[in-house]
Amino acid sequence: MPRTEYLKIPLDRLGPLIGIGGETKRKIEILTGTLLYVNSEDGTVVISPSEDMEDSFGVMNAVDIVKSIGKGFHPEVATKLNDDDVYLEEIEISLYAGESEEELNKQIARVIGKKGLVVNRITSMTGISIKVYNNEVSLIGDFEKVMIAKEAFVMILNGSNYKTVFDFLKTKQDEKYLKIPLDRIGPLIGKNAETKREIETLTGTLLYINSDDGTVAISQKEDMEDSFGVMNAVDIVKSIGKGFHPKTAIELNNEDIYLEEIEVSSYIDGSEEELNRQIARVIGKKGFVINNIRDMADVSIKVYNNEVSLIGDFENVMIAKKAIVMILTGLEYKSAFDFLKTKQNEIR
């Protein structure tokens, strides 16, 4: 059972949190599957899981939403944090200032800029939402764009002039960011960085890997004329992150090799128990089902979190995908295997 969380927000932000007639509070509770108890005297907000909640994601999302409203974000922006592809990042300005309050205020002023010019410019160039509250810069948006904006702010806090920062943002238009599990950083880099170099050479990109948090930045080399290499590198890095062997993932640089992802959660009623049951059905006892599909369709398959990922020839991947979807929609294994047998002539 997920635990109850407690946090405090400024009293003048309780109104936006609750909303007219309690609408915002109810919306957060419905979206996240939580219950909010708001103390209007001291700003304490208690976030409790509903009785049928089996995982902590709803509580974690509700904490981020409430915290963001407390920092000044509009509730419509904050509630987007319940979506998987919207991300919250916080930069503590005091880490980049001296011990004096004067230095802290100077850094805050640099981040904001005259009449908000700097924050507004970074907002418009990255398309994310930004708030500066107390000694923190908070960012909400698509993960890649948030990481770019974060890097820009850190440049400012480390003393870079504004022109350098804005030039940096212009060069980041074709750069991609993604995160992979820390235990997959090793396979991505490879022995003596051989895998990393091979990916860079094949795709015409540069990989910047943060081994502390698993962030990977992918940018195209100066002599690269199109973005296909970046797109291929993203698929390769993502696939290694999902557990594929680097040699299998690197095949995605070939035009006839395709990556497909099936989100298992799209085929369930919402409960974690049902999600786990569906994943178990796809894998089968001791991997029997997934191995059979892999062999019969001649594709590589990995199940990671709530996704089934497939790599192989496009037609083969589509055949394997249909077999897996048949299982996810409740058909018996025999039906899926019979379907695969009828497709043997189409499998390359």
Q: What is the pLDDT of residues 257-307, one digit of tens each?
A: 999 999 998 887 767 788 889 999 999 999 999 999 999 999 999 999 889
3-state secondary structure of 315: helix
Q: Which amino acid belongs to residue 63?
A: V
80: tokens are 């987007």
CATH of region 87-174: 3.30.1370.10
- 31-65 burial, b at 16+ Cβ within 10 Å, e below that, comes to bbbbbbebeeeebebebbbeeebbeeebbbbbbbb
Q: What is the pTM of this model?
A: 0.60
Confidence (pLDDT) at 220? 83
Q: Are 103 and 97 in contact (CB under 8 A)?
A: yes
CATH of region 177-253: 3.30.1370.10
181-238 residue pLDDT tens: 999 999 999 999 999 999 999 999 999 999 998 999 998 887 766 668 888 999 999 9
Which CATH architecture describes the domain 5-84? 2-Layer Sandwich (3.30)
Q: CATH topology of 177-253 equal to that of 257-346?
A: yes
Domain ranges of the chain: 5-84, 87-174, 177-253, 257-346
CATH of region 257-346: 3.30.1370.10
3-state secondary structure of 294: helix
